[in-house]
Amino acid sequence: MSDRPPQRKAINRLLVEPSVSFQLVRPSTPEGAIRLLSQAGAGEIAVLAGGTDLSWDLDQARIAPIQVLSLGKLPWKYLRWENGSLVVGSTLPLRALELDPHVKRRLPGLWEAIRDVGSPALRSRATLGGNLGRCSPVSDLIPMLLAFDARVRIVGPNGAREHPVDMVLQESRRTSLGPAELIESVILPASGPSAYLWQRVQPVNDISQVGVAVAFVPERPHWHIALGGLQPRARRLSEAEAVLRSARPTRFEMELAAQEAARRAEFVSDKRATESYRRRLVAVLVRRAIQTTVERMPKPSPARKGTR
């Protein structure tokens, strides 16, 4: 320091960048954001929509972007109801969804999936768009979006498009978004009751060994079952769904659907659980999630009840 020539210090600063060094850009319009994305080369820019997952990659030096594009100033932190559908702006913190009484009442499965992501501090940063865009195989939210048949509104240099969530997800950590495209919002169509169940070693700040999303929707097939925690990405299990034929399946049908789900799911063994334990969990949690969903169905009117 004082016993070193000053030039040496200046040179050091130029030569050695700190391990995490990038330019943070915060455009205030979607057009500005898309322009920045279009101008950047591959790997030069990373999109920040909360950052709870991105910061991990930066910290571990798995990526080394020149720029980090924050979506924090875009006007996408909204939540609104349109014709019974819930439209969630992609940068709305999960905590806002969790605290909304209508979300909890009308989409209990979504609320359950959100409520147990990380911790309250993390949910104050994390966003639905970020979660979807990162496309993690261990996401707790993606299975629920799949079960709801959510649609994703994407904006990019060629305008806006809308796709079912299943088409947006490709494989672990990969979506079908173009390099200059962004998720503007997620649209959750009107649905009947739903439930999300998970198993973790610990309830808070842990990663689900398995996540099970179930939704009952007005159109056929009525029952939607999606699983998370599997490879390469969360997916619907139509084989298990097909077992459930009525709004009030018998216990036998529930068990059959759960067994079918456990049989069809593609799992791997890793440090969080073995493949056989994950299969066991699916068999239990699918049955319980269907059961919970049934319990959330509107009660039959007392008059009808009397005639049975």
Partner 1 sequence: MTRSDAEPKARGAVEYGTDLAAPHMLWAALVRSPIPHGRIVRMDLGPAREMPGVVAVVGPDDLRDLLPKGALEAERPVFPLDEIRYRGEPIAAVAAETLEQARAAAAAVAPELESLRVDARIEDIFPEWPSEAAAKDPRVVGHVHARYGDLDAKFRNAELVHSETYRTSGVHQVAIEPHACLAEVRDGTFHVRSSTQTPFGVRDDLASILGVPPSRLVVEGTWVGGGFGGKGAAFLEPYAVLLAVASGRPVKLSLTFEEEFELGRTTLPSIIRLDTAVSRGRIVGRRVRLLLDTGASLPGRDFAVGYSIGFLLGPYRTEAYEIEGFALQTNQPPFGPHRAPFAPQSVFALESHIDGLARRLGVDPIEFRKLHAWREGDRTAYDQPVGPFGLEAGLEAAARTAGVWRTGLPPGHGIGVACGFWSTATGAGGEARLRLRPNGLTILQGEREIGNGSVIRGLAAVAERVLGLPDDAIRVEYGDTATAPFDSGVFGSRTLGALGQAVEKAARSLAHTLASRVGAPAIRLEMKNDQVVVVAGRRRQKLADLLTPAERTAGGVVALGKHYAPERTVDASRVLAGTVYPYQDFTAAVHLAEVEVDRETGHVRVVRYAAFQDVGVAVDPPGLTGQVEGGVVMGLGTALSEEMLWTPEGRLANPGLLDYRLPRIRDVPPIHVKTIEGFAGAGPFGAKGVGEPPIIPVPAAVANAVADATGTRVFELPLTPERVARALKLL
Closest approach of partner 1 to the CB of residue 181, in Å: 30
Q: Which is nearer to partner 1, 123 or 151 (CB)?
A: 123
Q: Which is nearer to partner 1, 176 or 205 (CB)?
A: 205
Q: Which is nearer to partner 1, 56 or 81 (CB)?
A: 56
Q: Which is nearer to partner 1, 106 or 287 (CB)?
A: 287
Closest approach of partner 1 to the CB of residue 251, in Å: 14
Identify residue 285 by its one-letter amino acid code. L
Closest approach of partner 1 to the CB of residue 165, in Å: 26
Closest approach of partner 1 to the CB of residue 60, in Å: 9
- Of 237, 234, 90, 219, the C-alpha closest to 151 is 90
Q: Which two tokens stand for residue 172?
A: 């672990």
Separation CA 291–CA 61 (nearest Å) = 44
Closest approach of partner 1 to the CB of residue 213, in Å: 17
The Cα diameter of the chain in Å comes to 95
Q: Which is nearer to partner 1, 85 or 291 (CB)?
A: 291
- Of 182, 111, 97, 102, the C-alpha closest to 148 is 111
SS3 content of the chain, % helix, strand, coil (to 5): 35, 20, 40
Q: Which is nearer to partner 1, 53 or 166 (CB)?
A: 53
Residue 211 in contact with residue 140, Cβ under 8 Å? yes
Closest approach of partner 1 to the CB of residue 283, in Å: 8
Closest approach of partner 1 to the CB of residue 225, in Å: 18
Number of H helices, E strands in the chain: 14, 14
Separation CA 233–CA 230 (nearest Å) = 6
36-43 long-range Cβ contacts below 8 angstroms, 24+ apart = 36/67, 36/69, 37/69, 37/179, 37/180, 37/181, 37/182, 38/157, 38/179, 38/180, 40/66, 40/67, 42/179
Identify residue 16 by its one-letter amino acid code. V
Residues that bind partner 1 (CB under 8 A): 1-4, 9, 11-12, 15-19, 119, 199, 201-207, 209, 271-274, 276-277, 279-281, 284-285
Q: Which is nearer to partner 1, 17 or 31 (CB)?
A: 17
Residue 71 in contact with residue 25, Cβ under 8 Å? no
